[in-house]
Chains A and B, each alone.
Chain A
Amino acid sequence: GAVVSQHPSWVICKSGTSVKIECRSLDFQATTMFWYRQFPKQSLMLMATSNEGSKATYEQGVEKDKFLINHASLTLSTLTVTSAHPEDSSFYICSADTGGFTEAFFGQGTRLTVV
């Protein structure tokens, strides 16, 4: 199957700072990637759709100015959590639409802790 890699796997940051999370498709090109957020003991919630070369599409209730998404190449999408606060602490997971395969492939996730 296709491989999607996230970096970092975990990060701790101070309140008020910004954090960037990378999502890479290692062996295929992805024009579309997706960002999800998962709180403890809860399900994955779609945050936004990342489109290569164009603006991301955000789900209702997700602040686009707080969660900046950049998809500058066919193998990389980044999510930047700006002015992070403790309530932003969560598990962030990306997935990529492979095009050829039917199912989406997920990265290993990034655990963000804001202190």
Chain B
Amino acid sequence: GESVGLHLPTLSVQEGDNSIINCAYSNSASDYFIWYKQESGKGPQFIIDIRSNMDKRQGQRVTVLLNKTVKHLSLQIAATQPGDSAVYFCAEETDNQGGKLIFGQGTELSVKP
């Protein structure tokens, strides 16, 4: 069935380093992807999104890359800070219905000071 998955369940980085979180999706028809950050006990917080007509999109300290050929998505965080420690999820919009999402398994990012 449809699924969005991640390669790395945990990631530990040193403060100041760059972080890369990966995600694989299975539905080649999906055209909208979102990265969310979730801190313990809280709801997901929007980070950045990208549509399938783009390969790359940049925000403040974050970049999302989309490779439709291999159905792969990545989130890059520059100069990672302790406040970036959280679980990161990629999500895929399904049925072209705004807000109806399939989430990946999540990657827990731990930033060491």
Interfacial residues, chain A to chain B (CB-CB below 8 A): 1, 4, 6, 32-34, 36, 42-46, 49, 91, 93, 95-99, 102-109, 111
Interfacial residues, chain B to chain A (CB-CB below 8 A): 32, 34, 36, 41-46, 49, 89, 97-106
Give the chain A neighbours of B101 by CB distance below 8 A.
Answer: 34, 44, 46, 95, 104
Cα distance A4–B99 when bound, in Å?
13
Nearest residue in B to A45 (C-beta to C-beta)?
Answer: B103
Cα distance A33–B100 when bound, in Å?
9
Cα distance A49–B94 when bound, in Å?
12
Nearest Cβ on chain B to A29's Cβ, whole angstroms: 14
Nearest Cβ on chain B to A39's Cβ, whole angstroms: 12
Contact B41 A1 (CB under 8 A): no
Q: A43-B89, A46-B101, A97-B98 are in contact. Are A102 and B43 (CB under 8 A)?
A: no
Nearest Cβ on chain A to B65's Cβ, whole angstroms: 18
Give the chain B neighbours of A95 by CB distance below 8 A.
Answer: 43, 99, 101
Q: A43-B89, A43-B106, A44-B103 are in contact. Are A104 and B98 (CB under 8 A)?
A: yes
Q: List 28 A-B contacts (CB under 8 A).
A: A1-B46, A32-B97, A32-B98, A33-B99, A34-B99, A34-B100, A42-B105, A42-B106, A43-B103, A43-B104, A43-B106, A44-B89, A45-B103, A46-B102, A49-B97, A93-B44, A97-B100, A98-B98, A99-B98, A102-B32, A102-B98, A103-B46, A103-B49, A103-B99, A104-B34, A106-B36, A108-B43, A109-B42
Nearest Cβ on chain B to A84's Cβ, whole angstroms: 20
Cα distance A33–B98 when bound, in Å?
10
Nearest Cβ on chain A to B1's Cβ, whole angstroms: 9
Nearest residue in A to B89 (C-beta to C-beta)?
Answer: A43
Q: Please indicate which of the listed interface residues A6, A34, A102 has the most CB atoms of chain B within 10 Å of its own CB.
A: A102
Q: Please indicate which of the listed interface residues A4, A6, A49, A104 has the most CB atoms of chain B within 10 Å of its own CB.
A: A104
Give the chain B neighbours of A42 by CB distance below 8 A.
Answer: 105-106
Cα distance A98–B105 when bound, in Å?
25
Give the chain A neighbours of B100 by CB distance below 8 A.
Answer: 34, 46, 49, 97
Contact B43 A106 (CB under 8 A): yes
Ranked nearest first, the 4 interchain pairs of A and B with the lowest CB-CB distance are A104-B99, A97-B99, A106-B43, A97-B98
